Amino acid sequence: MSFLRGKTNETRQQLPLEAGRIPVTGQVMMMAPEDRKAYNSFMADFRSALNPYGLVELQIAQRLAQDTWRINRCHAIEENILALGHSEKFANIESGHPEIHGAMVQALRYIDNPKLFTLLSLYEARLTKNFHANMKLLLHLQSLRQPAPKKEREQEKTMSAGAGERGFVLQNHHPADHPKAA
């Protein structure tokens, strides 16, 4: 992409990464610290809103939260792809109005690589299909639920809450942030 050309390794911005095991899934995931905070908050709020009980419902609630996060990311990627047109060859087109210019840049960006948008739409459609199937399953399981003993409800809340900030503990910051060993 044109906005990356000509930059040396020293001038490229590198984000520090944090990684850790997600308690709900047992998987290790890496993210930039600000993304991790937003992700953890979103996941905890989404799972909580679904009121899962037991490990199976918790896993389905986690999948629903993850799929929603990914669908939202699809929308952000699409907007970011279109916005990149303002820093590429399309930015130099002429129009008499800023809104017309913006619309033309987006259209040209799309025309330049329609396959990219097709793949993104396919990805989003698959995620949405998974989301609907998982939501149907969760609602069915919840309809079969028997009232749980208080002790089990407290354990479930503890397990779900533990998936927040504690899930990320490993850090890989930019080498320039750390003094070199002597």
- Identify the pLDDT of residue 52: 96
The whole domain housing 65 covers: 17-177
- Asked whether residue 1 is domain-assigned, the answer is no
The per-residue pLDDT for range 4-37, each reduced to its tens digit, is 555 555 556 677 899 989 888 999 999 999 999 9
- Asked whether residue 5 is domain-assigned, the answer is no
pTM for the structure as a whole: 0.70
Extract the tokens encoding 137.
Answer: 């399953």
- Asked whether residue 58 is domain-assigned, the answer is yes
- Asked whether residue 8 is domain-assigned, the answer is no
Domain count, the chain: 1
- Asked whether residue 2 is domain-assigned, the answer is no
How far is 31 from 67, CA to CA, in rounded Å? 17
- Asked whether residue 102 is domain-assigned, the answer is yes
Mean pLDDT calculated for residue range 124-139: 97
51: left (phi over 0), alpha (psi -120 to 50) or beta: left
Q: Are 22 and 165 in contact (CB under 8 A)?
A: no
The per-residue pLDDT for range 54-104, each reduced to its tens digit, is 999 999 999 999 999 999 999 999 999 988 888 888 888 888 888 888 888
Distance of CA 108 to the CA centre of its chain: 27
The DSSP code sequence of 11-76 is TS----EEEEE-TTT--EEEE-HHHHHHHHHHHHHHHHHH---HHHHHHHHHHHHHHHHHHHHHHH
Extract the tokens encoding 125.
Answer: 């459609």
- Asked whether residue 133 is domain-assigned, the answer is yes
Q: Are 35 and 18 in contact (CB under 8 A)?
A: no
In the sheet that holds 170-172, the strands lie side by side as 28-31, 17-21, 170-172
- Asked whether residue 6 is domain-assigned, the answer is no
